[in-house]
Amino acid sequence: MGQLKLYGMKAAYDEIIATAVKRQHEPQQIVGDLLNAEISEKQARSIKYQMTIAKLPLAKEVDEFDFEDTPVNETLVRDLAGGELLEHQRNVVLIGGTGTGKSHLAVGIARACIRSGKRGRFFNVVDLVNKLDAEARDDRQGRTADLLCRLDFVILDELGYLPFAQTGGQLLFHLDARKNLPVSVPM
């Protein structure tokens, strides 16, 4: 199993065999249980990898957000975390003052979407604009745009907090026009 890189099967083997012997499972059920263990392990590894690739700055969840005493619509946020906005290619803009939980909610929604099999990426807007500008100067424009076009969603954080050059705004606009990515924008 190790040579075949069936790590889920290998990890669950002893437990599955012990249970199978105790309950006198048929060989087909044992093989099915081993395959299910492998599938579960691969899914968990994929989610962990996608969380890393997303470069989320925080490990926040929607369930950790305190909806009490805030004007935030909890039902809407939970619906967004269900990922339906991605199916309809809708954008989300989170608006509020500093410290109101916009980034927390955006990251929580992103984590929920990643767990359901979606792929995304988090960017501070100024960092993204600087990256796009550097690509344009190095005559390598389009690399980041190509990467982002393969994703299901992008989070652009701190749009409006820090100014950037007009050319940066044009590059950002061109990126959005290239593929209408669902974007969450905490502002």
pLDDT in tens, 41-55: 999 999 999 999 999
Closest CA to 111 of 120, 101, 102, 124: 120
Mean pLDDT, the chain, as a whole number?
Answer: 84
What per-residue confidence (pLDDT) applies to 18?
A: 95
Comparing 4-13, 104-113, 119-128, which segment has the lowest mean pLDDT?
119-128
**What is the percent of the chain where pLDDT is above 90?**
41
Comparing 18-22, 35-39, 144-148, 172-176, which segment has the lowest mean pLDDT?
172-176
**Residue 50 burial class via C-beta count within 10 angstroms: exposed 0-12, middle 13-18, buried 19 and up:** buried
pLDDT band for position 160 (cuts 50, 70, 90)? low
d(CA 131, CA 135): 6
pTM of the predicted model as reported, rounded to 2 decimal places: 0.75
Closest CA to 12 of 3, 4, 31: 31
Stretch 22-45: mean pLDDT? 95
